[in-house]
Amino acid sequence: MKYPILLLDLDNTILDTKTNAEKALHQMSKSIDFPFNNEQIQYWHLLNDKLWEKFERDEITRPKLLTSRFELYFEHYNRQVNVDEYNKTYLKLFKSQDTLIPHAKETLQKLKQDHHLFAISNGTKEKQYNQLTQAHLINFFDKLYLSEDIGFQKPDPAFFEFVIGDLKKSKSEMLVIGDSLTADISGANAAKIDNVWFDPQKNNNPTNFKPTYEINDLRQLISLSAN
């Protein structure tokens, strides 16, 4: 088997994070008198994605990301809110969601039979453990490598160096799987680890980061990783 060790991103690779965020925002709307219609949801995704990209580039800290997004969001709509209260409410609702990417569970069940599975994620520790536990996925993973614990975030080479050093295995045995070209694929390329870009929307690659493989359905991992 070429890749006995699989390093899997979580958000929007295993966990359907965009859907989970939308569910949390809709639930939140009931208590804050703000509709979160389709346009407002899309602006949330746009703003949130930009902040996470800044976090990847080490231009913003995790605490600043989490506290500033509601402030920036409601400034856009000229609305004054209690940012801390809104953030706490959102995080509580968000971490309780457990919608998965299609075929995630069945794919992990199959892969677990003859691979070692590890999570590699920039996501918030409490949220990741909560959602994986609620979705009954936590036991599929030998270990979760989270940037909040490691002190470096993808795509920082130090994140991948930590994982490689901790596993004490050859990089040639590892395969990184993720949806983010800028975090997962770029980081894996820099670390010289083969990788898979998970692209369910079949988007064009707008970056210079070239994945080793591309898939648009998680079930494709089963045959790919067995080769």
What domains are defined for the chain? 5-16+100-226 (3.40.50.1000), 17-95 (1.10.150.240)
Q: Which two tokens stand for residue 159?
A: 């994140």
- The answer to which of 28-37, 121-130, 196-205 has the lowest mean pLDDT is 28-37
pTM of the model: 0.95
Distance CA 20, CA 91 (A): 11
What is the Cα–Cα distance from 184 to 176, expressed in whole angstroms?
A: 7
Percentage of the chain beyond pLDDT 90 is 92
216 pLDDT above the threshold of 80? yes
Q: Residue 8 gets which letter from DSSP?
A: E
Per residue in 139-194, pLDDT tens?
A: 999 999 999 999 999 999 999 999 999 999 999 999 999 999 999 999 999 999 99
Assess whether pLDDT exceeds 90 at residue 200: yes
